[in-house]
Amino acid sequence: MHTDRKKTSSHQGWGQELRATLALAWPLALTNLSQIALVLTDTFFLGRLGEVPLAAATLGGNLYFVAMALPFGLGFAASAMLAQERGRVTRHMREMRRTLRQASWAMLPTFALLGLILWHTAPILRAAGQDPALAEAAEQYNRTLLWGMLPFYGFLLLRGFLAALERPAPALWVAAGGIALNALLDYALVAGGFGLPSLGTFGAGLASALANLGMFLALALWVRLDRQLARFRLAGRFWRTDAQRMREIVVLGLPIAGSMLLEIGIFSATAMAMGWFGPSAVAAHAVALQVAGACFMVPMGIGQAATARVGLAAGAVDAEAARRAGWMAIGLSAGCMTLTAALLLAVPEHIAALFLAPELAGTRRLAATLLTVAGLFQLADGVQAVAAGALRGLKDTRVPMLLAALGYWGLGLPIGLGLGFGAGWGPAGVWIGLACGLGSVAVLMTLRWAALAGQSGLPVRHVPAGLR
């Protein structure tokens, strides 16, 4: 009888975890999809202008996302801390407010440096061997896009705050409005709608920056007007600094940023390699990358849910619940990415045709080939993203960064360059290298999670006494 009760309780625990993870993950995933939808909308409109604007925005966008690794790292570190603080229950409102405040201040010193880098996109791309005309057009894109960086970071922090409270829906609705705003602005500024002149890549960057600003302001207003959320008084005494808490955010966030930089960097390096094959290869890469990126937003959302769920359990010092949350999220992501893999493998030509004009037949064929390769690494991409998210819930960030370095740069890039250039496989060979890198990282991250989750105690870093 006792054994039967234990089995029933275990089954109920897994069922409850599945429902809780799904309830949190699907709005987060859709919110992430809305973020990539901004880039997809730019891609759609720029693709109608020709290969050069599309290729230029792809090269510039890759450099922009490299710069965004640090904001993402700090934002995800804050999310993990917010989840654990809520899990501890005691004085969680004050602690969460302090963390959000210090996470906001932590970003400001770096914005000037990141902005300076993006402002000089053209010389950076020329030094990397890119076509001067593409480099100049990419610089126009980034010089407007960079002004949306701080608003996007603010949106990211508020989204993490809501995820820790298991209330992700407001960020989803705001992000949906951002998509509509970006599409309207792209129509006006890129396509020359409403009788306005087309501003090309400059207009696309401006549209995305304004959409990011609109999303941050809308979500901040939502938090301010919601009675339950307003109780946190997030803007209260915003000028106060807390060096110890800011240090913890930075210590946690830098390895996360490093991991993201390694992953973003490998795709950026791939884009640079595509530039050596010519504008057609860059345009095909852009289409395949945007589609693969859209698919990745689903496991990224599940990974954010894993961070919240594992963090809540870790804050409550419930090791069994933390293990259950992590494995449930990994399994859920594997199932979702199996479906996206089947889609990409079944109709790559039709997907490519959505983004490229009919006269670009050769570019369409190459994009379809790259989409097929993307289909092969969907499962690995999903598993590694969620395993990393579960590890963040335990505040384990340094070792995952080292694993990412080994997989992406120690294996993926050398294999890709060897196949693409040494073996003469061209752009497809470079993408096969990506698949190998993602596969190795997925295995390593899962083994790391299994090792920590298998320990009898809860392997989570303790919060300094001054922060309790």
Buried b (16+ CB within 10 A) or exposed e, 1-10: eeeeeeeeee
Spatial separation of the C-alpha atoms in residues 398 and 310, rounded to whole Å: 18
CA distance 95 to 116: 34
- 63, 121 contact by CB (below 8 A): yes
Q: Note whether residue 7 is domain-resident.
A: no
Q: What does the alpha-carbon distance between residue 87 and residue 309 come to, in Å, rounded to a whole number?
A: 9
Write down the pTM of the prediction: 0.78
Residue 169 has pLDDT above 70, yes or no: yes
Q: Considering its fold, how many domains does the chain have in total?
A: 1
Position 26 confidence tier, pLDDT thresholds 50, 70, 90: confident
The per-residue pLDDT for 69 is: 84
pLDDT of residue 7: 46
> Where residue 458 falls among pLDDT bands split at 50, 70, 90?
low
pLDDT score of 40: 73
pLDDT at 136 over 50: yes
Q: Which two tokens stand for residue 210?
A: 């304004």
Domain that holds residue 394: 16-461
Q: Is the pLDDT of residue 71 over 60?
A: yes
In order, the DSSP letters of 308-358 are HHHHHHHHTT-HHHHHHHHHHHHHHHHHHHHHHHHHHHH-HHHHHHTTS-T
Model pLDDT, residue 357: 73
Q: Are 244 and 199 in contact (CB under 8 A)?
A: no
Torsion angle of C-alpha atoms 199, 361, 367, 340, degrees rounded to 10: 100
Average pLDDT over residues 203-225: 94
Nearest CA to 397 out of 64, 84, 183, 76 is that of 76
Q: What is the mean pLDDT of residues 86-97?
A: 78
Q: Is residue 330 part of a domain?
A: yes
Question: Across all residues in the chain, what is the average pLDDT?
Answer: 86
pLDDT at 238 over 90: no
Residue 153 — pLDDT band, cuts 50, 70, 90?
very high
One-letter amino acid at 282 equals V
- Comparing C-alpha atoms, which of 249, 228, 253 is closest to residue 162? 228
Give the per-residue pLDDT at 28: 85
CA max distance for the chain? 76
pLDDT attached to residue 89: 60
Question: b/e string for 172-203 if b means 16 or more Cβ within 10 A?
Answer: bbbbbbbbebbbebbbbbbbbeeeeebbbbbb
Judged against a pLDDT cut of 80, whether residue 343 lies above it is answered with yes
316 has a pLDDT exceeding 90: no
Is residue 150 in a domain?
A: yes
Query: Which residue did the predictor score with more confidence, 148 or 279?
Result: 148
- Percentage, residues of the chain above pLDDT 70: 93
* Contact residues for 215 (Cβ-Cβ < 8 A; gap 6+): 151, 152, 155, 174, 175, 177, 178
Residue predicted with more confidence, 52 or 406: 406
Enter the DSSP assignment of 192: -
Q: Assess whether pLDDT exceeds 70 at residue 463.
A: no
Q: Which residue has the tokens 């080994």?
A: 406
Give the pLDDT of residue 396: 92
Q: 205 lies in a domain?
A: yes
Q: Quickly state the pLDDT bin for 344 (edges 50, 70, 90).
A: very high
* Residue that is written with structure tokens 């705050």 in the block: 161
Share of the chain above pLDDT 90, in %: 41
Take residue 195 and report the two structure tokens written for it.
């009788």
6-10, 421-425, 443-447: lowest mean pLDDT where? Answer: 6-10
Asked whether 341 and 295 are in contact (CB, 8 A), the reply is no
- The three-class DSSP label of residue 256 is helix
Average pLDDT of the segment spanning 252-277: 84
Q: Give yes or no for a contact between 380 and 407, defined as CB atoms under 8 angstroms apart.
A: no
Question: What is the pLDDT confidence band of residue 459, given thresholds at 50, 70 and 90?
Answer: low
pLDDT, residue 465, reads 34
Burial class (CB in 10 A: 0-12, 13-18, 19+), 114: buried
HSE-up (13 A, CA, CB side) for residue 13: 15
Is residue 436 predicted with pLDDT exceeding 90? yes
The yes-or-no verdict on residue 460 having pLDDT over 50 is no
- Give the residue-averaged pLDDT of 303-315: 90
Element (H, E) at 218: helix 200-225
- The crossing angle, in degrees rounded to 10, of helices 92-119 and 243-277 is 40
DSSP designation for 405:
I
Cα–Cα nearest to 275, from 55, 13, 103, 430: 55
Question: What are the tens digits of pLDDT across the range 202-211?
Answer: 999 999 999 9
Q: Quick check: 364 pLDDT over 80?
A: yes
pLDDT given for residue 190 in this prediction: 92
Nearest CA-CA partner of 356 in 374, 342, 371, 346 = 371
**Residue 12 clears pLDDT 70, i.e. is over it:** no
pLDDT higher than 70, residue 10: no
Q: Which two tokens stand for residue 46?
A: 């720029």
Q: Is residue 4 part of a domain?
A: no
What pLDDT shows up at residue 461?
Answer: 46
pLDDT of residue 4: 46
